[in-house]
């Protein structure tokens, strides 16, 4: 990642830690606490009851950290890729769409979209795209089940100010990316930008966590129609949902 991209990431109020690093931190903390608990129990034995109880509580706390790490790994390594596949499969593709994956991360959705639009264009956008450029570019060279998209373009971009002209995109996709913004204002700006770049009649599909109604309200406030929310039930201990909506056509009605 270049210095410019690093500064942009820091200024965007992102949580920098990726799921794998979060899981690693949880595992290390869990192991340390469990080791301290076992050591305390062995050291004090039954001679100091309060210290023994405290040691057991510390060990239990370590176990909780380990359990949280397992959940983190399951959600990020199993559920998110599976939901990305399901999200893309349910879209009726024409083969020539212009698609933008905003806050693309490692390109899970881009990987699934590229083979389905051989005459289309996929834009993968993320503020940290520089660090993942080669990884995502390989997706276009190794398509699954097709010849790949005609063009795959990568851009280091702040989701709150997309480098795309208004009304240029047929479909905007985003996989849990908006949840990395800790401020509500940043999430609103990013969704506003996604709606801005949509063509009349274009659609948006977002995978989100957090407040149950937040994304739905954002899309409705931006004038989108047919806004729907589907719960992702396989994600453990997380209120994950897929929220979709469609921009009004130039005639004033939504297209189907």
Question: What is the DSSP secondary-structure string of 143-192?
Answer: -SSS---SEEEEEE--TTS-SS-TT-EEEEEEESGGGGB-SHHHHHHHHH
pLDDT at 226 over 60: yes
Distance of alpha carbon 35 from alpha carbon 47, whole angstroms:
20
One domain for residues 222 and 117: yes
| End position of a domain, from candidates 44, 59, 80 | 80
Q: Among the ranges 118-127, 178-187, 236-245, which has the highest mean pLDDT value?
A: 118-127
One domain for residues 70 and 138: no
One domain for residues 135 and 195: yes
Range of the domain at 73: 3-80
Tens of pLDDT along 139-149?
Answer: 554 444 444 45
DSSP letter at 198?
A: E
pLDDT at 75 over 60: yes
Give the number of domains in the chain. 2
pTM: 0.71
Strand, helix or coil at 5? helix
Q: Among the ranges 4-13, 68-77, 246-255, which has the highest mean pLDDT value?
A: 68-77
One domain for residues 134 and 7: no
């Amino acid at each position: 990642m270049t210095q410019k991209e690093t500064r942009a990431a820091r200024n965007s109020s992102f949580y920098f830690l990726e799921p794998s690093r979060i899981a690693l931190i949880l595992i290390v903390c869990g192991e340390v606490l469990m080791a301290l608990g076992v050591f305390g129990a062995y050291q004090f034995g039954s001679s100091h009851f309060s210290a023994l109880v405290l040691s057991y509580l510390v060990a239990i706390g370590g176990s909780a950290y380990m359990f949280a790490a397992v959940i983190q790994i399951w959600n990020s390594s199993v559920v998110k890729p599976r939901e990305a596949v399901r999200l893309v499969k349910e879209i009726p593709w024409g083969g020539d769409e212009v698609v933008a994956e905003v806050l693309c991360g490692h390109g899970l959705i881009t990987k699934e979209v590229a083979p389905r639009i051989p005459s289309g264009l996929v834009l993968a956008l993320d503020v940290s795209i520089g660090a993942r450029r080669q990884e995502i570019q390989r997706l276009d060279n190794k398509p699954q089940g097709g010849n790949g998209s005609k063009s795959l373009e990568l851009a280091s971009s702040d989701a709150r100010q997309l480098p795309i002209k208004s009304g240029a995109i047929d479909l905007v996709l985003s996989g849990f990316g908006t949840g990395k913004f800790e401020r509500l204002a940043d999430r609103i700006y990013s969704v506003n930008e996604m709606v801005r770049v949509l063509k009349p009649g274009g659609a948006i599909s977002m995978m989100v966590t957090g407040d149950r109604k937040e994304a739905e309200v954002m899309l409705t406030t931006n004038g989108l129609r047919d806004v729907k929310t589907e719960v992702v039930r396989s994600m453990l201990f997380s209120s994950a949902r897929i929220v979709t909506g469609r921009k009004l056509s130039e005639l004033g009605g939504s297209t189907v």
